Structure 1
Amino acid sequence: MRIGYIGLGAMGGALARHLIGKFPLSVFDLNQKAVDSFVGLGATAAATPAELARNSDVVLLCLPRSSDVKAVIFGQDGLAAGLSAEKIVVDQTSGVPAETREFACQLEKVGVALFDAPVSGAMATAIAGTISIIASGPHAAYEKALPVLRSISPNVFHCGERVGNGQTMKTVNNMMNVSCRLATLEVVAMGRKFGLPLEIMTEAINATTARNYTSTGMLPAIAAGRQSTKFWLALQVKDIHQAITLAAEQKVPMPIGGTARSILQIGLNSLGKDAELEQMIGVIESMADTRFVEPPTNAEHGEPK
């Protein structure tokens, strides 16, 4: 089975690396440096998405947003120009379910199956090959592509035959994760204002029912001076805005989610378009006028280093 992968950014690149040596692999990305690194590992570079489609049986995409997916599939020299009946497209983008279903309907007319399979997990799990893959779409196409997905990670889940269900589930996960992250940082900032050491709060929280992904991962990293996550803040804002839009379509109020989005937007407006999600730690510190960890001091002079 010949595989094509488009989108070799931080996440897509980590996922695609698991395919090297397991399948004949063609790659495409606007970042030539990223393409060259894969060629050095044994992959073949495609000049256009259309060329990649012609040389692949299964094509996977991992792009920033659904508008990028549309351009790659239906734009000039796009995948559609090189796809033929029986081929499969797997969209791993955290995209808009309704738009993904429309892409699938258009490709179905020429005998090509498209299903979504976004991923959920930290970058470390993508690199380790243990990230969760949440797929949905036609069962026959899913079964045919399953060996490819399982070569990326054994943790593959099928959320039904309706294209977009996987992206909807990813959206639910994103909203839960962000809301919990910001709530945890907010209350820990309060504890710091009372003088509680971060390490003691982290240990106590993780021994109670308040324990969560942020308290077990991000708080220890902050205490140790390590980066806890690597993700663009603008993409996080996009994901949460998308979640709230989907909720509005179903007339589901999202007061907590709306607040989380506003806090993230404050951070993005303050920090700039190239900010990373990790920098929200500083935003929360600034809002509370505190520090999660005191800066190191020069013991001799009692001054910050």
Structure 2
Amino acid sequence: MTGSIQMKTVGLVGIGDMGSGLAKNLLKHGYQTTGTDLNAERMRAFTHMGGLAVSSPSEVGKNSEAVFVMVMTGDEAKAVILGENGLLSHLPKGGAVILSATIKPREAIEIGAAMDGSGVHLIDTPVSGGYPGAQAGTLTMMSAAPTEVLDEFAPVMDAVSANIHRVGTKPGDGQTVKACLQSLIGAQFSATFEAAALAAKAGVPGQVLLDVFSTSSAGCGVVDNALEKIIDRQFEGTGSHINTMHKDLTISMDLGVDLGVPLHTAAAAMQIFHAGRSKYPNGDNWACARVIEDIVGAELHRKAAK
């Protein structure tokens, strides 16, 4: 652990694909970590790795100086932060809610307004890097809070992140940057899915496509990882459930409506993810490629069929 040595107790609400990675790295860096989740299996796994599992956000708050909130929706974030058994009324003065979930910017603004005057800080800091980044402690954070607050809580954020970008000072600033990022990532995903189906129909082996893409100017972590999953036919259980990206693209599109910005490519990506989620509701992001493969009647495998 670097920086200030006073902070020892950290909390976590939400111990799923992303939250389990946060927990792993907080414990690795020596923080006493208290957490809660609605899923009993996740709670058992958290206890096994050394965390203290409790039954409510209020208990997390009582045991913590800072709490990461890694839930799915803005309504869930509001409930665990502001609700009757929420964090706000139980965290100590000077403590912080570290909002690492991706929600609508206006929802983060609403949470910040409700917390104003409470003596508890809000750090609006959605993350990028997915399941691999969470598990490795290499997430990118888009952090918004006053400078002195970010300075104070930098050590605990460093425990889970390799890149912390200070993108603003107000609630909603972090979520706005994340919405812009997800509009781009969604487009990268959907273009990869279409290119994979095109190659499959043309009879190009998946390994050939991966070799070319990964060494070209189009190659990047998003494209390379998606193509790896497609050619190895790994469409479930990879830690990147389709519901999350579908939700994130909805947020991007919603922000576009609020600001009057046309998002033509993000809209196309949104429809591809909507189709994937409709046909393969238990799938991960890469399941979208299967929808296009189903249409063209060809599948992309690492090796060409003999």
In the superposition, the TM-score normalised over structure 2's length comes to: 0.89
For the 8 Å contact 1:132–1:156, the answer to whether it is kept is: yes
List alignment gaps of at least 5 residues for structure 2: 1-6
Instruction: Label 1:78 to 1:284 Cα distance change in 2 as closer, same or farther (>3 A).
Output: same
Alignment of 1:264 with 2:273, yes or no, is yes
Aligned with residue 179 of structure 1, among 181, 187, 191:
187
Instruction: Label 1:188 to 1:77 Cα distance change in 2 as closer, same or farther (>3 A).
Output: closer
Q: Which residue of 1 aligns with 2:113?
A: 105
The total of aligned residue pairs comes to 297
Q: CA deviation at 1:214?
A: 4.2
Counterpart of 1:10, as a letter, is: D
Alignment of 1:66 with 2:74, yes or no, is yes
Q: CA deviation at 1:227?
A: 5.8
Q: Which residue of 1 aligns with 2:59?
A: 51
Aligned with residue 225 of structure 2, among 190, 198, 217:
217
Q: Which moved more, 1:208-217 or 1:283-292?
A: 208-217
Q: CA deviation at 1:120?
A: 0.4
Determine which structure has greater relative contact order: mean sequence separation of CA pairs < 8 Å that are 6+ residues apart, divided by chain length.
Answer: 2
Q: Which residue of 1 aligns with 2:27?
A: 20
Instruction: Give the aligned CA root-mean-square deviation in angstroms.
Output: 2.2
For the 8 Å contact 1:175–1:240, the answer to whether it is kept is: yes
Taking the TM superposition and a 5 Å limit, the aligned residue runs for 1:155-194 are 155-194=163-202
Q: CA deviation at 1:258?
A: 1.0
Q: Which residue of 2 aligns with 1:7?
A: 14
Identity across aligned pairs (percent)?
26
Q: CA deviation at 1:255?
A: 1.4
Q: CA deviation at 1:167?
A: 1.6
**2: CA distance between counterparts of 1:202 and 1:79?**
46
Q: CA deviation at 1:6?
A: 0.8
Aligned with residue 85 of structure 1, among 89, 93, 102:
93
Taking the TM superposition and a 5 Å limit, the aligned residue runs for 1:140-289 are 140-226=148-234, 229-272=238-281, 274-289=282-297
Alignment of 1:132 with 2:140, yes or no, is yes
**1: CA distance between counterparts of 2:33 and 2:220?**
38
**2: CA distance between counterparts of 1:158 and 1:177?**
20
Q: Which residue of 1 aligns with 2:4?
A: none
List alignment gaps of at least 5 residues for structure 1: 300-305
Counterpart of 2:61, as a letter, is: A
**2: CA distance between counterparts of 1:248 and 1:156?**
28
**1: CA distance between counterparts of 2:191 and 2:293?**
13
Q: CA deviation at 1:279?
A: 1.5
CA shift digits 1:127-146 (9 cap, x unpaired)? 11112122111222211111
Q: Which moved more, 1:231-240 or 1:33-42?
A: 33-42
In the superposition, the TM-score normalised over structure 1's length comes to: 0.89
Q: What is the SS of the residue equivalent to 2:142?
A: strand
Larger radius of gyration: 1
**1: CA distance between counterparts of 2:97 and 2:209?**
46
